[in-house]
Amino acid sequence: MNQPTKVVYLGSLPFDQTEQQVLEVARSVGPVVDFKLFFDQETGKPKGYAYVEYQDMETAASAVRNLNNYTMGNRNIKCSYSGRLSIEDNIAESGDGIKLPPLPLGIDLIGTSDPTELTFKVVETLEYNKLLSVLKEARSMAKTSPLAMKKLLDENPQLAYALVHAGNLTHKMSPDDINAVLAKPVANGVQNAAAQEFASLPLQAQEQIRAVCALTQNQIEQLQPSEKNMIIQLKEKYSNVVNNI
DNA sequence: GTTGAGCGTT
Please return the burial class of A103, using the count of CB atoms within 10 Å of its CB with bins 0-12, 13-18 and 19+: exposed
Nucleotides in B strand less than 7 A from protein CB: 3-10
Greatest CA separation for chain A? 64
Length of chain A: 245
List per-residue pLDDT tens for chain A, 245 residues long: 678 999 999 999 999 888 999 999 999 999 999 999 998 877 778 899 999 999 999 999 999 999 999 999 889 999 999 988 888 766 555 667 777 777 777 777 666 667 777 788 888 999 999 999 988 888 888 888 878 888 888 777 778 888 888 888 888 777 677 777 766 655 555 566 778 888 888 777 888 888 888 887 777 887 777 778 888 888 888 888 887 76
Q: Does strand B come within 7 Å of the CB of A216? A: no
Instruction: Considering only CA atoms, name the residue closest to the C1' of nucleotide B5.
Output: A12
Question: What are the boundaries of each domain within chain A?
Answer: 7-90, 115-183, 191-243
Instruction: Look at the pTM and tell me if it is higher than 0.95.
Output: no
8 Å CB contact between A124 and A169: yes
Could you tell me which CATH number the domain at A7-90 has? 3.30.70.330
Check if residue A91 sits with its Cβ under 7 angstroms from strand B.
Answer: no
Q: In the complex, which nucleotide's C1' lies nearest to the CA atom of residue A75? A: B4
